[in-house]
Structures are given as C-alpha cells and as structure tokens.
Amino acid sequence: DIQMTQSPSSLSASVGDRVTITCRASQSISSYLNWYQQKPGKAPKLLIYAASSLQSGVPSRFSGSGSGTDFTLTISSLQPEDFATYYCQQSYSTAYSFGQGTKLEIK
C-alpha cells in the first residue's frame, strides 16, 4: 500500500497569509494526487486533481504542484472561509489512500 504523509498536521495562520501544505507519498505516484477540503460536519470537497488541476468552481487562490513523491497545496491569500482541514489523496494505486489531514486554524 502507498502511504501518504502530510505536514504540518496543524497550522495557525491569519487572513491574507500565504499558506503551503505538503504531502509526501511512500513511492512515486506520478501526478495522481488530489486535494480535498473538509469543514466540520460536512462532506469533503474536491479542490485540486491530477496534482495541479483546479476543480471547477474552486477559487484561483488555491493551487497545487508536484509530481513523483512530493506535492504541495498553496493558498495564496487566506480567506475566512478557508479555515478547514485539508487532505491529500493518491489515486495511482488502489487503495486510493488519504493523508492524515492538515487542520488550518485562525491565528
């Protein structure tokens, strides 16, 4: 199985900050990497697929990069509605495992 490791596990930031979350795969997954946002009590929401493709309707302040084993999710200017938990997911090989999550909190 492919293990996904996110860092940091939690992060405090302010509105307007630029934030980067990292995801590392235990083996190469090419660009088969997706990012989701989850708010309390809600289902996850797809933000980025194929490492860098922005899902329709997602604000352009979200961006993704990377390939192989190392990936990043960047939020260019945090908005109040962005405080949530973020998960990466590899979709290269079943089981399509998730990272443990990064909780983004207001400083």
Given the rule CB under 8 A, which residues bind another protein? 1, 31-32, 34, 36, 38, 43-46, 49-50, 53, 55, 87, 89, 91, 94-101
Rounded distance between C-alpha atoms, residue 82 and residue 96, angstroms: 25
Would you say 17 or 63 has its CB closer to another protein? 63
State which residue, 15 or 105, has the beta carbon closest to another protein. 105
Q: Which of 41-44's residues contact partners 24+ apart within 8 Å by CB, and which partners? A: 44/87
First to last CA, the chain: 36
- Minimum distance from residue 66 beta carbon to another protein (Å): 14
